[in-house]
Amino acid sequence: MKQQLIKCALLAFAALAAVATAAARADGMDGKALFLKNCAACHQPTGKGIPGAFPALAGNKFVQGKSTDVATVLLKGRGGMPDFSESLSDQDISTILSFVRSSWGNQAAPLSEAEVMALRDVLQVEPFSNGQMSNKH
Ligand code: HEC
């Protein structure tokens, strides 16, 4: 019985530690900060966009749909939407999209860094290199 309790406490602690690690970033930029820096100029800090120019991400069905479809827009760009594949890391993209999918009333599951990394492979978009070793000519 006591052993069980200890196991239980350890498991709870491990889970908390995992959450804390996922939330903390070396540069202190969370999803909101990354969104404000990279996306809000067009989609607005409110996520409501500008009608006729920049689509609203708030209350957007596509944004809350299949996570890899949403990430594809960031990795490949689309129309007036820039391609962020060389300026944002897989962790940045997963952090921003997890924020966007769960803010302003949106209620969709987060996206992991590993999913973004795998998606680059599928889309044949170069792995993130921090702009240092791009072999694009
Ligand atoms: C320079 C302006 C600009 C910036 C910066 C920008 N976007 Fe966009 N975004 C657009 C435009 C324009 C579209 C519509 C593209 C189209 O017509 O296909 C769009 C479309 C999208 C879509 C698809 C919406 C839909 O309903 O299909 C998503 C998701 C999205 N942007 C997310 C982001 C995120 C996240 C960022 C920040 C990393 C960002 N955008 C930064 C202009 C921008």
Domain boundaries, the chain: 28-123
Q: What is the pTM of this model?
A: 0.83
Report the separation in Å between the CA atom of 34 and the middle of ligand 1, taken as the mean of its atom positions.
14
| Rounded (10°) CA dihedral 11, 15, 18, 23 | -160
pLDDT tens, residue by residue, 71-106: 999 999 999 999 999 999 999 999 999 999 999 999
100 lines ligand 1 (CB under 6 A): yes
81 lines ligand 1 (CB under 6 A): yes
d(CA 95, CA 89): 10
Phi, psi dihedral angles at 127 (to 5 degrees): -60, 150
101 lines ligand 1 (CB under 6 A): no
CATH architecture of the domain covering 28-123: Orthogonal Bundle (1.10)
41 lines ligand 1 (CB under 6 A): yes
Nearest CA-CA partner of 71 in 134, 122, 129: 122
Q: Tens-digit pLDDT profile for the chain (137 aa)?
A: 566 655 655 555 555 444 444 555 677 789 999 999 999 999 999 999 999 999 999 999 999 999 999 999 999 999 999 999 999 999 999 999 999 999 999 999 999 999 999 999 999 999 998 755 555 55
